[in-house]
Structure 1
Amino acid sequence: MAETSSVQQLSRPKVSYRKPARPHYLERDDYVKPVSEIDLAAVDFIDVEQWRQDKMWDRFERLRKEDPVHYTPDSLVGPYWSITRYEDVKAVDVDNKRFSSDAGYGGITLGKPLDEFTGESFIAADEPDHWAQRKPMQAAVAPSLLRHEFEPLIRKRTGAVLDSLPDGKPFDWVEAVSTELTAMMLATLLNYPQSHRRELTRWSDVTTNPFDPDICPGGREQWLRELNECLGTFSKIYAERQAAPPASDLMSLLAHGPATQNLTAQELLGNVLLLIIGGNDTTRNTMSGGLYALNKFPDEYAKLKADPGLIPNMVSEMIRWQTPLAYMRRTALEDVSMHGKTIKKGDQVAMWYISANRDENFWEQDPNALIIDRKQASRHISFGFGVHRCYGNRVAELQLRILWEEILKRFEHIEVIDEPSRTSSAFVHGYTWLPVICHRKA
């Protein structure tokens, strides 16, 4: 599978653009050493610089081959296990008897939750509480609603955004397209004012990057202040929806659900942030990552142009290749043996979806390549497995399908002109900047 060393270099007019400043104190490219130069025990995926520099892949590959159930004894988040192979990740994800996602045990992210926020939500709950809280939410993404209301709305908005893009001039795809489209859809799902939709994006970024100096330079104090602003805003909305007749938006369903109509402040904030992050990061980062991947694999871009009927399968492949949420955490409820290792009761366990989606033992064709007609594409693990499988996956797939249908109607090519800037996060695998030039059809 042909891949350019970076992005595809096409002939184009000379252009100028300004790359965002990176105030990180760890800016040296040699800071993240190749995995061959470090002790296996020193592999720690919580070091965010490897994610910002996109240098975690050799670590996952080595663990899959040599130590698929890997113990990191010393990390900022405390000791934890890494599960890196596809079948093992799947086995842990569906084993709700021995592995818990409950907030009382630590929830779905590695480390101890900050004291002011426990992360209580239905994704951080075990059965039967999980399903009791989740079930009412499913009405917001019912197939009939997607088909008759959301699809025409998404198509109209997507067309308008694409029509507004400059032709032949550089701009940031993340800001102009990915963030804008997902913010509009998220505001619709929550019935949140469209004029304030970027507040949702901001709260998502702050929640998942509390110590990133680019996003939250004020650290813990700023993080707490902005989350309290989010809580104040949604406490008012929650009360308003409780007093109004039931509707199909997520906040109304939360306010009227039998298991969610009397949430505490912590539970309300946890569920709201879950909805915001889940509705934002998967779609936003795949919208950017998919375009970046097509430029890295130009033969696949040509294949797409020759056969737009490949779009639905390509969407699944893009979600696999990107893997927008890199992992989910579980906590062992009892001693569990895997690959000759014993995970002790109470241990943190990271299911690395991003590694499972590149597992050479499972994927029949080169897992590091984007192959838009890959036969196994729909078997990606980006949405999880079992009872915790993402219930908004159909919305994400719909948005991505429509985006590429509308792109092919308008553009001969969308050219990525530089390497992107990436999120400094081991949880959200995404992009903060992706410079492109659009070439419209005559």
Structure 2
Amino acid sequence: MNLLDQVINKAQATIPLDKQIQGVHLFQKAKKMVVSDNAPVFVERPIPDVEDVPLAQIDVSNPFLFRQGKWQSYFKRLRDEAPVHYQPNSPFGPFWSITRYEDIIAVDKNADVFSAEPFIVIGEPPEGLSVEMFIAMDPPRHDEQRNAVQGVVAPQNLEEMEDLIRSRVQEVLDNLPIGEPFDWVDKVSIELTSRMLATLLDFPYEQRRKLVYWSDLAGGSASATGGENDMDEMFTGIADMARHFSALWHDKAARLAAGEKPGFDLITLLQSSEDTKDLIHRPMEFLGNLLLLIVGGNDTTRNSMTGGVLALNQFPDQFAKLKANPALLRKMIPEIIRWQTPLAYMRRVAKEDTVLNGQFIRKGDKLVMWYVSGNRDERKFENPDEFIIDRSAARHHISFGIGVHRCMGSRLAELQLRILWEELLARFEDIEVVSEPEYAQSNFVKGYTKMMVKLTSKQPA
């Protein structure tokens, strides 16, 4: 390590993390006054029908593709005509779209050829917020940091969490209005995921909504995913997050040093592992891994909670089938996750020249594995655009990824969804979506910002 690197590491280890982020923010603002930051600016325009677009010009990184409901036709055309498709002129730089199920599996399983570093999103985070997280690391670093925290979702811990999750679901559902419209995203999906995140992190419960807010900020930059977050708001929010988590880390360390019995929250697990016990002194890794844990615990579950309600409204015969036979609930959960695919893709970079489905991929090329397309691949799933609660192949979905980077919290997400629907079926005869949902501006999060619903109580037998 050269002298400059030593000085930088010493400064990062001694200057409070939130102050570092504030300093970077001031520098970026001053720099932007002199030199453009070249961040893309997205203006929503009607997306043409895919038949009217030349194949070579198709760009599925458009952050309005999901919002405008064009995504299914665009991905179907790529699957049929160019399953490994090169787009040289996107706002996020050139990339290959991998859209068929089997090709996605081949890339996701081959960490020796396709690297998760340095980012998992199609673009690059704002300069100064290029944090490190283990999902964007290759083995062995990935394995070391993942192993430090995966105990929180071990089977025994999930069993112990079930009663707590159920009691919180019951509390939320019992306070919902009956017979009048309300926003399901805010009152149910966000509320339940924020409660779970606060529990996993042992974060102050009364401040739990901050976790969701920080998660939304992290995934919302134009340069990374085509989002619409204001840069001032993003830097201010991430600095606030850094301040809270640094304080939480030091508080827990002091309590452990005073003899308190270690808990099984994520902060304590990080402090207890040899590989991550000094993470607070590696600020970009510290911040990155905590962002990963809250984004992973927020977006997947939250948008599947909303997507399941929407799916059963769009396919009322399936809702009738579920109410007639609630035992089908366990089969429905993976179908919700397949049908919704809450995170649309993951990115990889080729480590060497290779060939994929007849296309020559050069070392350094960026590939985007479109899980949202693989989960609708007719070669794998019969009638893939339909929502079928007892679909036999639903568990073969790839919403959680596959291989070494498969989602650590997949079982927890499934548990939360199962308990939610068990409690919903016990209380309500109908959950009616009363207006078209509002969708996030993003090419990464296939999610909802608002969905108005109306509940009908179940009548006593």
- TM-score with structure 1 length normalisation? 0.90
The one-character-per-residue Cα deviations of 1:342-391 (angstroms, maximum 9, x if unpaired) are 1110011100000000000111x200010000000111000000111011
More helix by share: 2
User: Which aligned runs of 4 or more in structure 1 are off by greater than 4 angstroms?
Assistant: 24-28, 215-218
Partner of 2:455: helix, strand, or coil? Answer: strand
Select which of 359, 363, 387 maps to 2:404. Answer: 387
Q: Which residue of 2 is the match for residue 4 of structure 1?
A: none
Q: Which residue of 2 is the match for residue 83 of structure 1?
A: 98
Gaps of 5+ in 1: 1-23
Task: Note if contact 1:283-1:396 (Cα within 8 Å) is conserved in structure 2.
Answer: yes
Partner of 1:52: helix, strand, or coil? Answer: coil
Structure 2 CA distance for aligned equivalents of residues 206 and 98 of structure 1: 31
Select which of 262, 268, 273 maps to 2:278. Answer: 262
Q: Which residue of 2 is the match for residue 322 of structure 1?
A: 340
Structure 2 CA distance for aligned equivalents of residues 123 and 221 of structure 1: 26
Q: Which residue of 2 is the match for residue 129 of structure 1?
A: 141
Aligned length: 410
Partner of 1:75: helix, strand, or coil? Answer: coil
Task: Note if contact 1:171-1:436 (Cα within 8 Å) is conserved in structure 2.
Answer: yes
Q: Which residue of 1 is the match for residue 185 of structure 2?
A: 174
Alignment partner of 1:335 is 2:353: yes
Structure 1 CA distance for aligned equivalents of residues 50 and 218 of structure 2: 30
Structure 1 CA distance for aligned equivalents of residues 167 and 452 of structure 2: 24
Structure 1 CA distance for aligned equivalents of residues 201 and 227 of structure 2: 25
Select which of 334, 348, 351 maps to 2:369. Answer: 351
Gaps of 5+ in 2: 1-40, 257-261
Select which of 101, 112, 125 maps to 2:124. Answer: 112
Structure 2 CA distance for aligned equivalents of residues 393 and 90 of structure 1: 17
Structure 1 CA distance for aligned equivalents of residues 44 and 352 of structure 2: 42
Partner of 2:454: helix, strand, or coil? Answer: strand
Q: Which residue of 1 is the match for residue 156 of structure 2?
A: 144
The one-character-per-residue Cα deviations of 1:98-140 (angstroms, maximum 9, x if unpaired) are 000122xxx2111233221223011111111111110121111
Task: Note if contact 2:220-2:229 (Cα within 8 Å) is conserved in structure 1.
Answer: no
Structure 2 CA distance for aligned equivalents of residues 275 and 353 of structure 1: 20
Alignment partner of 1:293 is 2:288: no
Task: Note if contact 1:239-1:255 (Cα within 8 Å) is conserved in structure 2.
Answer: no
Q: CA RMSD in A?
A: 1.6
- TM-score with structure 2 length normalisation? 0.86
Return the letter of the residue paired with 1:418.
S
Q: Which residue of 1 is the match for residue 384 of structure 2?
A: 367
- Report which of the two structures shows the higher radius of gyration computed on alpha carbons: 2
Structure 1 CA distance for aligned equivalents of residues 126 and 366 of structure 2: 16
Structure 2 CA distance for aligned equivalents of residues 216 and 113 of structure 1: 11
**Shift of the alpha carbon at 1:27?**
5.6
Return the letter of the residue paired with 2:297.
G
Return the letter of the residue paired with 2:109.
V
Q: Which residue of 2 is the match for residue 193 of structure 1?
A: 204
Task: Note if contact 2:125-2:221 (Cα within 8 Å) is conserved in structure 1.
Answer: no
Task: Note if contact 2:227-2:442 (Cα within 8 Å) is conserved in structure 1.
Answer: no
Percentage identity across aligned positions? 50
Return the letter of the residue paired with 1:35.
V
Structure 2 CA distance for aligned equivalents of residues 95 and 39 of structure 1: 31
Q: Which residue of 2 is the match for residue 238 of structure 1?
A: 249
Q: Which residue of 1 is the match for residue 34 of structure 2?
A: none
Structure 2 CA distance for aligned equivalents of residues 326 and 218 of structure 1: 19
Structure 2 CA distance for aligned equivalents of residues 369 and 216 of structure 1: 28
Q: Which residue of 1 is the match for residue 57 of structure 2?
A: 42
Structure 2 CA distance for aligned equivalents of residues 244 and 332 of structure 1: 45
User: Cα–Cα, structure 1 residues 378 and 216, in superposed 2: closer, same or farther, change >3 Å?
Assistant: closer
Structure 2 CA distance for aligned equivalents of residues 258 and 296 of structure 1: 49
